[in-house]
Amino acid sequence: MKKFFLKRSKQEQKLKHLTGLCNIPASEITLLLDLAADFKRELISGNPSFEQSLRNKRIALVFFENSTRTRFSFEIAARHLGAGTLNFSASSSSVSKGETLGDTIKNLEAMQVDGFVLRHPSSGAADLITGITSKTVINAGDGSHEHPTQALLDMFTLRDYFGKIEKLKVVIIGDVLHSRVARSNIYGLLATGADVGICCPVTLMPPDADRLGVTLFTDLDRAITWADSAIVLRLQLERATGGYLPSLEEYSVHYGLTDERLERTQKHLLVLHPGPINREIEISNHVADRIQPPGYSKSVLLEQVTNGVAIRMAVMQTLLAQQ
Ligand code: CP
């Protein structure tokens, strides 16, 4: 049974919650990525075996929005470390009878839950519940605010492929305005020394874009020519993106990542997407599924998902193991 530890010096303060990457120092991010790398090596060894560092811990996966990747990878990660999980979905809970988020969390805490993984449609929900519970809170995506474990797994994937994050040029393409993935990646990538670009129509550019410390593009060919890697965002149709765009067809023509565009710009990009993807809108089928092109752009969408398990193991062990 393998033991993996965060190699933190005595002076460094322990994290209690992970609600976002804003204000998380590069040193802490690097420790999490290093620990995830240890976990990933074991995960893909064919016969993974881990110390049950979260034995006797109960983690509530509290999802007020649908999820495939995040929910399952937290659950798998928790089981690898020996934790028990409690699955909560709003539609089958007393939220449907009018119970508040705060009362829901307090009631789960009263059942001796040790930590909360929260996904919620409201920006700030994860920070809000850190003031309600004494237990650890991990943000699994809150409104348009942050999705820190997604950004960590994206950064892990970039570091795995390029060997480093520092000085890497990463362009985030698409619905930046509504994207918690974009916000967390911007904070995390800038903290660890990457050059970050964002590329989107002006209507999907955040109002504070020129204060984020990123390079702004509205022309996708120019953005691709600048970048080493692209994180393509899902057009968030459920967050009323339609009102910001003349039509999906037009968006796809100007901002869709296609083979034709990659060939035209002659760039070999590493292509990431957090999922779920809107095929043939922000990314073509061919680019999304392009796994092993010889000397060409490469998509690593499923590798990101694998890396998500390792990252969530690293986060949960770091926050919960010594509680
Ligand atoms: N990337 C991501 O958060 O996917 P899910 O919504 O499926 O969890």
Please give the pLDDT value at position 89: 82
Q: Which CATH superfamily is domain 148-302 in?
A: Aspartate/ornithine carbamoyltransferase (3.40.50.1370)
Residue-level pLDDT at 122 = 95
pLDDT tens by residue, 20-41:
999 999 999 999 999 999 999 9
| 132: its two tokens | 């309600």
pLDDT at 207: 94
Instruction: Inform me whether the pLDDT recorded for 266 exceeds 90.
Output: no
CB 45 less than 6 A from any atom of ligand 1: no
What is the residue extent of each domain of the chain?
Answer: 26-146+306-321, 148-302
Whether the CA torsion 208, 170, 179, 36 is positive or negative: it is negative
Residues 6+ apart with CB under 8 A from 73: 305, 308, 309, 312
> Which atom of ligand 1 lies closest to the CA of 68?
7
Closest among 207, 93, 81, 73 to 147, alpha carbons compared: 73
For ligand 1, is residue 130 a contact (CB within 6 Å)?
A: no
- Count Cα atoms within 13 angstroms, Cβ side, for 128: 18
Pairing mode, strands 270-272 and 298-299: parallel
- Across 83-93, b (16+ Cβ under 10 Å) vs e yields bebeebebeee
pLDDT at 147: 98
Instruction: Report the distance separating Cα 173 and Cα 80, nearest Å.
Output: 34
Residue with tokens 């605010």: 145
19 or 90, which is more confident: 19
What is the pLDDT, as a whole number, of residue 240? Answer: 56
Q: What percent of the chain has pLDDT over 70?
A: 93
The answer to whether residues 143 and 182 touch, using CB atoms and an 8 Å cutoff, is no
How are beta strands 215-217 and 229-232 bridged, if at all? unpaired
Predicted local confidence at residue 268, as pLDDT: 87
pTM: 0.94
The more confidently predicted of residues 118 and 10 is 118
Mean pLDDT along residues 128-139: 97
pLDDT band at 292, cuts 50/70/90? low
What top-level class would CATH report for the domain 26-146+306-321? alpha beta
Q: Compute the distance from residue 275 Cα to the ligand 1 centre, in Å.
A: 6
Tell me, what's the pLDDT at 294?
A: 57
User: What pLDDT, on a 0 to 100 scale, did the predictor assign at position 267?
Assistant: 82
Cα-based distances in Å from 264 to 69, 218, 261: 33, 17, 5
Mean pLDDT check: name the lowest of 94-98, 176-180, 301-305: 94-98
User: Is 148-302 the same fold as 26-146+306-321?
Assistant: yes
Report the nearest atom of ligand 1 relative to the CA of 275.
1
Q: Is the CB of 275 within 6 Å of ligand 1?
A: yes
Mean pLDDT value across residues 9-15: 64
Q: Which residue would you say has higher pLDDT here, 252 or 238?
A: 252
Q: How far is the CA of 311 from the centre of ligand 1 (A)?
A: 14
Q: Lowest mean pLDDT: which of 31-35, 87-91, 106-110, 271-275?
A: 87-91
pLDDT of residue 239: 64
CB 68 less than 6 A from any atom of ligand 1? yes
Closest C-alpha residue for ligand 1 atom 3 = 70
> Which residue has tokens 């073509």?
284
Indicate if the pLDDT at residue 242 is higher than 70. no
Given this model, what pLDDT does residue 6 score? 67
Pocket flag, ligand 1, residue 67 (CB < 6 Å): yes
Residue among 63, 67, 142 whose CB has most ligand 1 atoms within 8 A, to mutate: 67
Q: Ligand 1 centroid to 173 CA: how many Å? A: 17
Cα(22)–Cα(26) distance, rounded to whole angstroms? Answer: 11
The answer to whether the peptide bond before residue 276 is cis (omega within 30 degrees of 0) is yes
**Minimum CA distance residue for ligand 1 atom 5:** 67
Residue 12 has pLDDT above 60, yes or no: no
Question: What confidence tier does 297 reach under pLDDT thresholds 50, 70, 90?
Answer: confident
Rounded to the nearest whole angstrom, what is the distance from the C-alpha of residue 69 to the centroid of ligand 1?
A: 5
What is the separation of C-alpha 197 from the centre of its chain, rounded to a whole number of angstroms? 17
Contact call for residues 197 and 227 (beta carbons, < 8 A):
yes
